[in-house]
Amino acid sequence: MKNKYVLLALLVVPFVGKAQVTNDSIAELDELIIHENRMQIPFQQSTRNIQVITKEDIKKLPVSSINEVLTYVSGVDIRQRGPFGSQADISIDGGSFEQTMVLWNGVKMGDAQTAHHSMNLPIPLEAIERIEVLKGPAARIYGINALTGAINIVTKTQTNDFLQLHAYGGSSFKDKDAGDGNGMYAGGGLQATAGINTGKVNHLVSIGKEETNGQRYNTAAKNLKTMYQGNVALNDNNSVNWMGGYLDNEFGANGYYAAPHDKESYEIVQTLMLSVGSNHRITDNLTIKPRISNRYNEDDYRFYRNDLSRARSLHYSNAFMFELNGVYTSTVGDFGVGYEMRLEDINSSNLGEHDRKNHGWFAEYKNTFFEKLLVNVGAYWNYNTDYGFQWYPGADVAYLLNNDWKVQASIGSSQRIPSFTDLYVNQRPGNIGNPDLKPEAAWQYEVGVNYTKQNKRFAASVFERNISDFIDWTRISTDVPYQPQNLGDQVMRGLNVRYNQDIQIAMNQKLGYSLSYQYLSPKKQDSASEIISKYTIESLKQQAIVGINYSINDFGMQFQNRYLKRELNDGYFVSDLRLMYQFPSFQIYTQATNIFNSTYKEVAAVPMPSRWIQLGVNYRLNLKKTSE
């Protein structure tokens, strides 16, 4: 009870103080345009619950990966199985990791084998323009599998030539746990990113390497990431864009998926993604955007890393995607339509050979009435060769009370179809699939209020989500493997509150802080009391995040604190700190994660690292005058 009063006080205090203001971060959001696959919506006119993390926010955070950035987003739950992005699952507002869609510039990065691969992204932090977190069903925007929300990572479109080098390394300064031999637990990485602009054509290329020797027995990890994107303006009305990325991720998977049996397991994941699209302004009112993409993934899971003749699973999965989107603007509103085709197949030594096809049709309408009422309605029709036809409508409305206050409400529906792992895995004694699974379907209702005033931003919302045919992995005793089941209906109710403020202390000093709190109340589905759930016990119950940033001249400091309470586990606090100094062409920084040595687990039997101290240098050479 005491903790609740403390959290409430943290959220109320900011409204009673006054200070000289600075609008830097607020103005950046005010000018932001959310680029969905059809509509372009100014952030201030959005009718949905959207959070945006800008490149300026990322620069200040004590982070080294996208996974770590998202741990500071209210309502987003990152369950990591190791540092340096070795493996992580992501969920939104108490959903499962299979119910969240991850995109790169609007291209789906999901894998039909399993959503454990959704965060296998070849994108360095230096290449990110912003991260958009859309909460609630997103079927009518992005299609199936965006049941509880979507995360779109938007990379930069370069307008200047530059070279950027980022080197970092760290250690717990403690001996590794028994089993891996002598020496301290340590790790580090090196990233190189370059932008080239030749007028009509620009390019962005990056390569990065990370490695750690593992804090526990058989948890060493290493990865290689490389990405490239470019675009060319053919003329004022036509442009072509392309991007590609490759990831090689290898890690010891002790306790990751089937504890305690998988102590000797090891996994190698390789992902290749290619995409080519174009924009064509046919008339002043009509624009069309075709795009083709392909995502290929190889997963080599070795249950016994030193004996490849036993329990080795090789998975080769591919997803080919074609999209055609268009938007027509008129005096009576904006109309968006689209079609998508997704061909998924897998060839696996464990799951077998399977394929399925998905066809989807989008329709959206957006308008503003009386300069105050913002309306966005639409629907998504879907045909899947395994599950037939479904359709998912939704509507969002917002009303501008004045220049500062906005109230909004939304209702939407969405679907999540089972992965090939859900259906066909045969990995005894850990997990077995269920080919009789039905898709999950959800309806969600949400109301909220937003306030923006110069240097202040406040948002609060409540929601209820009803999922039918909810899927969870369960078993009746530890002597039998987990198996996914449709457990009936699940109801989730939640409260989200966020506040942030920037203060200009003096001409050369700035202070900013952010506060957020989420409370989730699931209504459990009817099931036998002896059933053991694999993932439900790890879902969030409460989440509070407090961040403070301070700068004076070229020195900056960021202090982040998180409190998380999961469904059936004790709550825990994690605090992180970053100190940085900016020179004319480079930045040096040091950061400490888990400063107070909290003992906690985000997934099953995988303890997270203790205090970690890291030192880094970020060098940037601008070859032309930057426009950033």
Q: What is the CATH number of domain 2-622?
A: 2.40.170.20
The encoded tokens of residue 233 equal 């303006």
Helix, coil or strand: residue 578: strand
Burial 491-522 (b: 16+ CB within 10 A, else e): ebbbebbbbbbbbbeeeeebbbbbbbbbbbeb
Phi, psi torsion values for 445, nearest 5 degrees: -125, 135
Asked whether the CA dihedral 47, 50, 51, 55 is positive or negative, the reply is negative
Beta bridge partners of 608: none
| Burial of 200 from C-beta contacts in 10 A (0-12 / 13-18 / 19+) | exposed
Helix, coil or strand: residue 140: helix
- The CA distance from 448 to 129, in Å, is 27
Query: Which DSSP symbol is given to 256?
Result: S
pTM for the model: 0.91
Among residues 578, 579, 583, which one has the least CA distance to residue 620?
583
123: which residues sit within 8 A by CB, 6+ positions away?
A: 66, 104, 153, 155, 206, 225, 227, 245
Report whether 349 contacts 314 (CB < 8 A).
yes
Among residues 331, 309, 159, 324, which one has the least CA distance to residue 233?
159
Report whether 306 contacts 100 (CB < 8 A).
no
Q: Which pLDDT score is estimated for 603?
A: 76
Report whether 588 contacts 580 (CB < 8 A).
yes
CA 60 to chain centre: 18
Query: Which DSSP symbol is given to 115?
Result: G
Q: Which pLDDT score is estimated for 525?
A: 60
Question: What's the angle, vertex CA 434, arms to CA 254 and CA 415, rounded to 5?
Answer: 95
- The CA distance from 102 to 442, in Å, is 18
The encoded tokens of residue 508 equal 């050369």
Q: Which pLDDT score is estimated for 528?
A: 54
Report whether 548 contacts 510 (CB < 8 A).
no
The encoded tokens of residue 392 equal 């998912």
Helix, coil or strand: residue 6: helix
Q: Which pLDDT score is estimated for 31?
A: 62
Helix, coil or strand: residue 342: strand
Rg of the chain, C-alpha, whole Å: 24
Q: Which stretches within 330-430 are classed as H helix?
A: 420-424
The domain spans of the chain are 2-622
E-state strands within 216-372: 221-233, 238-252, 266-281, 286-302, 312-330, 333-348, 352-369
Among residues 456, 380, 446, 455, which one has the least CA distance to residue 407?
446
- The CA distance from 455 to 457, in Å, is 7
Q: Which pLDDT score is estimated for 12?
A: 41
- The CA distance from 496 to 557, in Å, is 27
- The CA distance from 566 to 625, in Å, is 48
Low-confidence stretches of the chain (pLDDT < 70) are 1-31, 43, 82-83, 85, 176-183, 524-530, 535-538, 604, 624-628
Question: What's the angle, vertex CA 435, arms to CA 433 and CA 441, rounded to 5?
Answer: 100
CA 312 to chain centre: 30
